[in-house]
Amino acid sequence: MRKLLCTSALMLAIIFPAIAGQEGVEANVTGTPTVGGLFPHFGLGAGSNVTAPENERMIAKTYLQYRDGNFVPVDSITYQYSNGRGSLPNPDDINNDEHILFDLSTTYVFNASVAGYENSKQRVQYFSNNKVSELVYKKWHDLSSSWKNAERYIYTYDNSGKMHSSLLQLWYGTLWTNDMNSVLNYDNNNNIVQMNSPTYTIDFVYDQNNNLVLIEDKVLSQGGGWTNNERKRYKYNGTEVSEYVLEKWVNGSWVNISKWEYAHDAQFNVILATEYTWSVGGWLQTIQEENVYDPDGNLLKSIEKTWNAATGTFVNNKMEERVYNNSDLPIMVTTWSWDGQNWMHSSNDIQVRYYYEIYFPASVNAITTLADIKVFPVPATDIINVALQVDKPLDVAVSLTDVTGKLVYTEEVRYTGGYTHAIPVRHLGTGNYALHISGQGVNIGRTVAVSH
Assigned domain for 389 exists: yes
344/202 Cα distance (integer angstroms): 43
pLDDT band at 42 (very low <50, low <70, confident <90, very high): low
Assigned domain for 2 exists: no
Q: Are 388 and 330 contained in the same domain?
A: no
Q: Return the minimum-mean-pLDDT range out of 1-10, 95-104, 308-317.
A: 1-10
Which of 126-135, 189-198, 314-323 holds the top average pLDDT? 314-323
Q: Are 372 and 409 contained in the same domain?
A: yes
276/271 Cα distance (integer angstroms): 17
Q: Are 387 and 342 contained in the same domain?
A: no
Assigned domain for 1 exists: no
Domain that includes residue 444, residue range: 364-450
pLDDT band at 392 (very low <50, low <70, confident <90, very high): confident
363/156 Cα distance (integer angstroms): 23
36/8 Cα distance (integer angstroms): 12
pLDDT reported for residue 83: 64
Q: Are 312 and 439 contained in the same domain?
A: no
Q: In terms of pLDDT, which residue wins out, 11 or 332?
A: 332
Q: Are 32 and 83 contained in the same domain?
A: yes
User: How many CA atoms does the CB half-sphere of 439 hold within 13 Å?
Assistant: 16
Domain end, chosen from 300, 325, 358, is at 358
Read off the pLDDT of each residue in 13-42 and give the average, rounded to a whole number. Answer: 37
Q: Are 150 and 91 contained in the same domain?
A: yes
Read off the pLDDT of each residue in 336-360 and give the average, rounded to a whole number. Answer: 90
Read off the pLDDT of each residue in 334-339 and give the average, rounded to a whole number. Answer: 97
Smallest Cα–Cα separation from 273: which of 261, 286, 265? 261
Domain end, chosen from 338, 358, 378, is at 358
CA 151 to chain centre: 18
Query: Domain count of the chain?
Result: 2
Assigned domain for 57 exists: yes
Assigned domain for 45 exists: yes
User: What are 201-257's pLDDT values in tens digits?
Assistant: 999 999 999 999 999 999 998 887 899 999 999 999 988 999 999 999 999 999 999
Strands, sheet with 420-424, edge to edge from the N-terminal-most edge strand: 374-376, 383-387, 420-424
238/296 Cα distance (integer angstroms): 22
User: What are 302-336's pLDDT values in tens digits?
Assistant: 999 999 999 999 999 999 999 998 888 999 999 99
Q: Are 252 and 379 contained in the same domain?
A: no
Domain end, chosen from 317, 332, 358, is at 358
